[in-house]
């Protein structure tokens, strides 16, 4: 279809929708012509590019979007045809804004949505279909945002209008384009800030959590990908700390942490700004749950529901920290905020107040009383030791600090099977290896413990050491097999 034919068709569409009501036949004829243009604009990139650069056509489309629904139509048949024709014009707009996102002003477009929802017949079969095209158009309009402004903040507030969010929540076809739109506008920091400080965020949070649980936890395709991108922009914003810190006691906290855990651990890289923002709220929340958990674990009177709540949140937060340890900035952050002290304190409390479980019966340690033997706090020790291993690797400073905090004994004590903490033995042995590597003070400390028969030296053999007494001094000796292997590796490296 030529550009002039397109212009004539859109002009007639405007007349039918804006100027006066017409007969059913006129609407049906125009629907046929307009549908051909919409179809061509969807399938032919060159045609789409051509009509998107035509000022007069753009002006007509804008007039249709902003001036329709200003007439009263008594006939139910005509009203239905009117909505269908308007939807066709809106679909053309949706295709145009892919090329020219600023073809229509966002505030005007938002007013059009509000006007449509007030004037259109809600039980008309094309009512929801038209809303779907509206939201698809919003998503297309916001694909290439480079700057913010008050209109975008107004757009966010309008998008969380109770009516619109209820409609979106009730109709599956509206959810994905709405998430596309949000993901686009959240690329702007000022929009995320406004979102997190907006009074209706809690209302939307229920929707977001519901969709995340249904899609992210079940890995449901495109919706999952969009949710991951959207939530990652929220949790890595500096304002998120204040928002989530106010909700640590809410019933939704476990679900919030679980979703955040899945999102954060699925992202391969963060910049330093994002990483600092994430670590700030994760660490603040962890300290709250760690303190509460420690109090419950030490007490003879404890609330099982409360302990389970603390445990679920603690596990999620520790898993996030463990995953973020792959970044050097995490080590610096935890070192600056006394992370080792907090982690080792919780490790000690769990170790001393929760019974170790093995396949053998009657293996309850004497230090664990009958009350504490009923307490469960699984996987926490294993995750903490994994984090300590990350932090210790190639760091003499942290090796020494863990020894000074008496964390070395705790790691040694967990070099054994514990069904509460799968793979804790293996993780403890790796951590012990890093703690001893090239550190004479740590090796001597462990040798003294072994000489007193405080620990089983099997763990030391697994990391390549044994205790020996030389000239009256207790020391660790590197096993010959390991030493020979290291010498061979070293000689091969030197050969190159």
Tokens standing for residue 376: 């469960």
Section 94-105 average pLDDT: 91
* Of 405 and 142, the one with more pLDDT: 405
- Taking the C-alpha atoms of residue 352 and residue 343, their distance in angstroms, rounded to an integer, is 14
State yes or no: pLDDT of 397 exceeds 50.
Answer: yes
pLDDT in tens, 125-137: 899 999 999 999 9
Count of other CB atoms within 10 angstroms of residue 492: 9
Section 31-52 average pLDDT: 94
| pLDDT band of 206, cuts 50, 70, 90 | confident
* Residue 417 backbone class (left: φ over 0; alpha: ψ -120 to 50; beta: rest): beta
Task: Mark 189-198 as b/e (b = at least 16 C-beta within 10 Å).
Answer: eebbbbbbee
- Taking the C-alpha atoms of residue 184 and residue 175, their distance in angstroms, rounded to an integer, is 14
Which element (helix H / strand E) includes 467? strand 465-470
State yes or no: pLDDT of 192 exceeds 60.
Answer: yes
Section 282-295 average pLDDT: 98
Tell me the percentage of the chain whose pLDDT exceeds 70.
83
219 DSSP 8-state letter:
T
Chain-centroid distance, C-alpha 284: 17
Handedness of CA 273, 393, 409, 364 (dihedral sign): positive
pLDDT in tens, 243-265: 999 999 998 899 999 999 999 99
Task: Mark 253-271 as b/e (b = at least 16 C-beta within 10 Å).
Answer: bbbbbbbbbbbbeebeebe
The CA-atom distances, in angstroms, between 342 and each of 289, 291, 318, 412, 478 are 11, 9, 12, 19, 32
CA atoms within 13 A on the CB side of 389: 20
Cβ atoms of 279 and 244 closer than 8 Å: no
Q: Point out the least confidently predicted range of 59-68, 72-81, 278-287, 429-438.
A: 72-81
Q: What are the beta bridge partners of residue 466?
A: 477
Give the per-residue pLDDT at 468: 56
Q: What are the beta bridge partners of residue 477?
A: 466
State yes or no: pLDDT of 493 exceeds 50.
Answer: no
* Of 2 and 299, the one with more pLDDT: 299
Q: What's the chain's average pLDDT?
A: 85
State which of 299-303, 306-310, 437-441 shows the largest mean pLDDT.
306-310
| pLDDT band of 223, cuts 50, 70, 90 | confident
Give the per-residue pLDDT at 362: 46
- Taking the C-alpha atoms of residue 13 and residue 381, their distance in angstroms, rounded to an integer, is 69
| pLDDT band of 163, cuts 50, 70, 90 | low
Give the per-residue pLDDT at 73: 83
Q: What are the beta bridge partners of residue 467?
A: 476
* Of 183 and 495, the one with more pLDDT: 183
State yes or no: pLDDT of 394 exceeds 50.
Answer: yes
Cβ atoms of 464 and 494 closer than 8 Å: no
| pLDDT band of 390, cuts 50, 70, 90 | very high
CA atoms within 13 A on the CB side of 93: 32
The CA-atom distances, in angstroms, between 6 and each of 54, 98, 173, 251, 341 are 11, 18, 29, 56, 71
State yes or no: pLDDT of 61 exceeds 80.
Answer: yes
Chain-centroid distance, C-alpha 48: 36
Nearest partner of 125 among 151, 87, 89, judged by Cα: 87
Give the per-residue pLDDT at 316: 97
* Of 370 and 151, the one with more pLDDT: 151
The CA-atom distances, in angstroms, between 269 and each of 183, 231, 237, 293, 326 are 18, 15, 15, 31, 10
State which of 68-72, 176-180, 400-404 shows the largest mean pLDDT.
400-404
- Taking the C-alpha atoms of residue 153 and residue 489, their distance in angstroms, rounded to an integer, is 61
| pLDDT band of 482, cuts 50, 70, 90 | very low
State yes or no: pLDDT of 481 exceeds 60.
Answer: no
pLDDT in tens, 340-357: 999 999 999 999 999 887
* Of 168 and 293, the one with more pLDDT: 293
Q: Point out the least confidently predicted range of 150-159, 274-283, 435-444.
A: 150-159
* Of 361 and 7, the one with more pLDDT: 7
Handedness of CA 381, 383, 386, 390 (dihedral sign): negative
Q: Point out the least confidently predicted range of 17-21, 114-118, 270-274, 338-342.
A: 17-21
State yes or no: pLDDT of 460 exceeds 80.
Answer: no
């Amino acid at each position: 279809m030529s550009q002039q034919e397109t212009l004539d068709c859109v002009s007639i569409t405007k007349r039918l929708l804006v100027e006066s009501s017409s007969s059913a036949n006129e609407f049906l004829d125009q629907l046929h012509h307009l549908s051909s243009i919409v179809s061509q604009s969807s399938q032919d990139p060159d045609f789409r590019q051509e009509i998107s650069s035509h000022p007069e056509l753009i002006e007509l489309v804008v007039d249709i979007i902003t001036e329709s629904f200003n007439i009263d139509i008594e006939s139910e048949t005509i009203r239905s045809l009117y909505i269908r024709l308007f939807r066709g014009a809106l679909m053309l707009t949706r295709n145009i804004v892919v090329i020219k996102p600023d073809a229509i002003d966002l505030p005007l477009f938002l007013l059009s949505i509000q006007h449509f929802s007030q004037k259109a017949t809600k039980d008309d079969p094309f009512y929801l279909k038209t809303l779907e095209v509206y939201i698809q158009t919003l998503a297309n309009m916001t694909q290439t945002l480079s700057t913010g402004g008050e209109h975008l903040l107004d757009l966010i507030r309008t998008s969380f209008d109770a009516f619109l969010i209820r409609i979106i929540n009730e109709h599956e076809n509206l959810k994905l384009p709405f998430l596309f739109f949000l993901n686009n506008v959240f690329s702007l920091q000022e929009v995320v800030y406004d979102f997190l400080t907006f009074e209706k965020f809690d209302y939307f949070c229920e929707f977001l959590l519901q969709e995340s649980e249904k899609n992210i936890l079940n890995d449901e395709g495109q919706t999952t990908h969009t949710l991951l991108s959207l939530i990652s922009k929220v949790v890595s914003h500096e304002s998120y700390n204040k928002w989530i810190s106010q909700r640590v006691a809410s019933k939704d906290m476990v679900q919030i942490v679980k979703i955040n855990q899945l999102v954060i651990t699925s992202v391969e890289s963060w910049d330093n700004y994002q990483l600092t923002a994430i670590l700030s709220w994760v660490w603040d929340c962890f300290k709250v749950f760690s303190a509460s958990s420690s109090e419950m674990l030490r007490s003879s009177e404890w609330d099982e529901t409360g302990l389970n709540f603390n445990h679920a949140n603690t596990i999620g937060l520790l898993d996030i920290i463990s995953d973020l340890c792959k970044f050097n900035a995490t080590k610096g952050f935890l070192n600056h905020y006394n992370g080792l002290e907090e982690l080792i304190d919780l490790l000690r409390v769990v170790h001393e107040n929760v019974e170790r479980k093995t396949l053998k019966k009657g293996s309850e340690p004497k230090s664990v009383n009958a009350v504490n033997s009923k307490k469960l706090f699984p996987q926490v020790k294993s995750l903490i030791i994994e984090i300590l291993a990350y932090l210790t690797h190639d760091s003499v400073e942290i090796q020494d600090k863990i020894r000074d905090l008496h964390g070395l004994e705790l790691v040694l004590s967990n070099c054994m099977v514990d069904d509460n903490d799968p793979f804790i033995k293996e993780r403890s042995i790796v951590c012990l290896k890093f703690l001893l590597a090239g550190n004479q003070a740590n090796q001597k400390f462990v040798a003294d413990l072994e000489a007193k028969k405080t620990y089983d030296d099997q763990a030391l053999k697994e990391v390549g050491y044994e205790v020996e007494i030389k000239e009256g001094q207790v020391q660790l000796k590197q096993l010959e097999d390991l030493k020979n292997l290291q010498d061979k590796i070293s000689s091969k490296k030197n050969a190159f």
